[in-house]
Structure 1
């Protein structure tokens, strides 16, 4: 038996049945459930007298509410998509732009279609599956079968081109990321301060030579947002600063783990950070070094640095005064920093930055989708947007689960 899984933003599974009905004779199909709400479809191809045919079995599952983010949910499909997103993130890709598109595609998936072939995806069954992928604008995940002529795990597009395998290889050159407008949140009337903020951000970006979209909604207004407390921000900085030293190779994971436990910070260390400290591989170290930008944003929110600076300029944590930084080695004590962190910038200032980086992040994603050069440094913009979203409790997401929707 061989199998593969199709992932699509489409929710109308009547399209799958119609495609199978167009490909196979009616007598070859068996449907479980109602035609407009089927549970499974079985197709038998090449069945002849005294000879068993090849069988294709199709099942599916969907989000209860279609969407375009991976918010907290007990739904198995969303939990699976979050795992898929984390799996793709840790792959060191030959084509990082294509990997970014795949990461953008995963949160837009609404339906998972599992296809099993017995004994294998022969020519006829393969053709039926590829037709279905085109109909659904789907991507494939497979551990290898005759469709893709490989035994390596990976993702393929609807044409059969390799998007990304576990070794980081690709043959595809682009991937379309689409979101149906009807799946967006119900429209609400934005607050006046939010609309003014949007206008200022667009003007500021225009002056910087960055084209963004006026169609993007504003971020929440001051009355509709909760900014994290000074104590919560300071604690997050203290953990990030310690973990970051492992990313740069200054300390090993065991030393930082002991430090965090000694200073009662271990309970505030996220599952992702704990996993990193336990096994800091080189690719994860590289990703973790980017958290410098998040540390910079959080220090700014605590009034420890005067400004975020330019979107093309990497932050320099060495410029932060010693008394305003929580970690100066395993013998340092974060207590003074945590005690002194008592004020947070006004919500208006944090929302101004959040709205600006949200629109700049959109501009970077839009440029990648069009195979154009990003107008500003995409890594800096993304990491700062990430921290700003955490600061405003965006969708009530915890640190490891923060999304930067654009």
Structure 2
């Protein structure tokens, strides 16, 4: 047996049977492809051409359990691969997060080059990516995206997501529309490209905005772990650093606030430099938390990195969590949601220019945008996503 899997993000799959017919009908007999069937049998024509091909089809509407059970595992697999290109890993993870269609292809004999060519052709028609059993990912044209050892292939890969998966059912509310219009006015004033059709964020009554204490605890825990990540990135004394971090987590009583990724970093015997660097960038997310807690007057455009010395001292000058909490005054939920909406649209502008091979507009730094968006979307409880899992679709 040989296996070849196609994953895609599609608004509908009514055309799958027809696409399979287009690819295989010249040299194969196809059965079981009537409307609504979830398995297609493909038999080579001719007496001596043995070797049946079976295509099993699943999508999120007909088989939600498959995606609930398997997509997290797929994300974990590629999260663990040591990508030589961190940005490529981010793009692969984004792609996996929006997958809602799977075509699992099984052949009775070893996969031949001609068969793989046809399978890649099918991937191109469904606008998907190809997964090989060893973990290699191919793009819709059959070019390698990444190999199991983390090496980048020749594919110039960009995630593709259907509007149904990314946006859900687009709808408008008076509150969401007013917020969107405020963001667009701000962005136009700055001369930054915008996309009028990006959807609105839900109204506050449909979100779960975090409390002042929840935000403060996340801020303190994050800041402490960032210090450890910085020591890793700078080849510091990790034993001493880890002891200091454990002491600070206990002192401020925020150990339970660590995310899975942060705990993993602290528990690694030999922490990966890339994991540490990713967390050090979250200084910018921490900066947004401080803004929401009223410690900063404004965030401004995401152009310059935050003042790390000030960021550290805000907490380091306190003897307890309660002392830090007393320094804070949570901004109105409307204000935090407005900033989240604005950052969402600024993120689109950065991605749009990057795709065109251009620098981010208005001098923005996309990494700062991403981390601010992480914090802001977490604070408003968008889709109730965990800190490590905030989606970055644009």
TM-score normalised by L of structure 2: 0.84
- Separation in 2, partners of 1:183, 1:289: 28
CA positional deviation for 1:234: 0.9
Report what 1:70 is aligned to.
none
- Residue 188 of structure 1 pairs with residue 171 of structure 2: yes
Structure 2 CA distance for aligned equivalents of residues 302 and 260 of structure 1: 20
CA contact (8 A) 1:296 1:317 kept: no
> Residue 15 of structure 1 corresponds to which residue in structure 2?
18
- For 1:385 and 1:4, locate their aligned partners in 2 and report how far apart those are by CA, in whole Å: 36
Where does the alignment leave 5 or more consecutive residues of structure 1 unmatched? 67-73, 145-152
1:266 aligned residue:
255
Question: 1:344, CA displacement in angstroms?
Answer: 0.6
Taking the TM superposition and a 5 Å limit, the aligned residue runs for 1:375-386 are 375=361, 376-386=364-374
Deviations 1:205-246 (A, max 9, x none): 223231011112232345554421111011111211111112
Give the 3 Å change call, closer, same or farther, for CA 321–107 of structure 1 in structure 2.
Answer: closer
- Distance of aligned partners of 1:186 and 1:123 in 2 relative to their CA distance in 1, 3 Å threshold: closer
CA distance, structure 1, for counterparts of residue 81 and residue 52 of structure 2: 34
Q: Within the alignment, does 1:298 sit opposite 2:295 as a pair?
A: no
The one-character-per-residue Cα deviations of 1:43-77 (angstroms, maximum 9, x if unpaired) are: 3337645xx723322213221289xxxxxxx8331
Aligned partner of 1:205 in structure 2 is 187
CA distance in structure 1 between the partners assigned to 2:186 and 2:42 by the alignment: 58
The answer to whether the aligner puts 1:340 opposite 2:326 as a matched pair is yes
Say if 2:230 and 2:280, in contact at 8 Å, map to a contact too.
Answer: yes
Give 1:38's aligned residue.
37
What does residue 389 of structure 1 align with?
Answer: 377
> 1:53 corresponds to which residue?
50
Cα RMSD after superposing both structures: 3.0
Determine helix, strand or coil for the equivalent of 1:220.
coil
In the alignment, the residues of structure 1 paired with residue 331 and residue 60 of structure 2 have an alpha-carbon distance, to the nearest angstrom, of 38
Q: SS of 1:5's equivalent?
A: strand
Equivalent residue in structure 2 for 1:154, among 109, 112, 136: 136
Partners of 2:352 and 2:97 in 1: how far apart?
16
How many Å apart are 1:126 and its aligned residue?
Answer: 2.2
Q: Is the Cα–Cα contact under 8 Å of residues 98 and 161 in structure 2 kept in the other structure?
A: yes
Q: Give the match for residue 220 of structure 1.
A: 202
* Count of residues in correspondence between the two structures: 379
Is 2:352 the partner of 1:355? no
Q: CA contact under 8 A between 1:24 and 1:43: conserved in structure 2? A: no
Verify: 1:286 aligned to 2:277, yes or no.
yes
CA distance in 1, matches of 2:381, 2:167: 19
> Contact 1:155 / 1:165 at 8 angstroms: preserved in 2?
yes
CA change 1:212–1:96 in 2 (3 A) is: farther
Give how far 1:81 is off.
2.6
Q: What is the CA distance between 1:341 and its match in structure 2? A: 5.4
Contact 2:207/2:380 (<8 A) preserved:
yes
User: Larger % of helix: which?
Assistant: 2
Structure 2 gaps of 5+ residues are none
Q: Is 1:364 matched with 2:350?
A: yes
1:16-58 deviation per Cα after TM superposition (whole angstroms, max 9, x unaligned): 54246514433xx453xx7222233333337645xx7233222
The residue that corresponds to 1:6 in the other structure is: 6
Following superposition, the deviation at residue 342 of structure 1 comes to: 5.5
Deviation at 1:364, TM superposition (A): 1.3
Change (3 A) 1:284 1:183: closer
Q: In the aligned structure 2, how far is the partner of 1:79 from the partner of 1:371?
A: 37
CA distance in 2, matches of 1:397, 1:387: 11
Distance 2:39 2:206 in 1: 44
Specify the alignment match of 2:65 in structure 1: 75
Name the CA shift for 1:25/1:116 in 2 (closer, same or farther; >3 Å): closer
- Name the CA distance, whole Å, in 1 between partners of 2:286 and 2:297: 14
Alpha-carbon separation, structure 1, partners of 2:265 and 2:86: 21
TM-score (norm 1): 0.82
Matched, 1:179 2:168: no
Contact 2:57-2:104 at 8 Å conserved across structures: yes
Residue aligned with 2:294, SS: coil
> Does the CA-based 8 Å contact 1:62-1:110 persist in structure 2?
yes
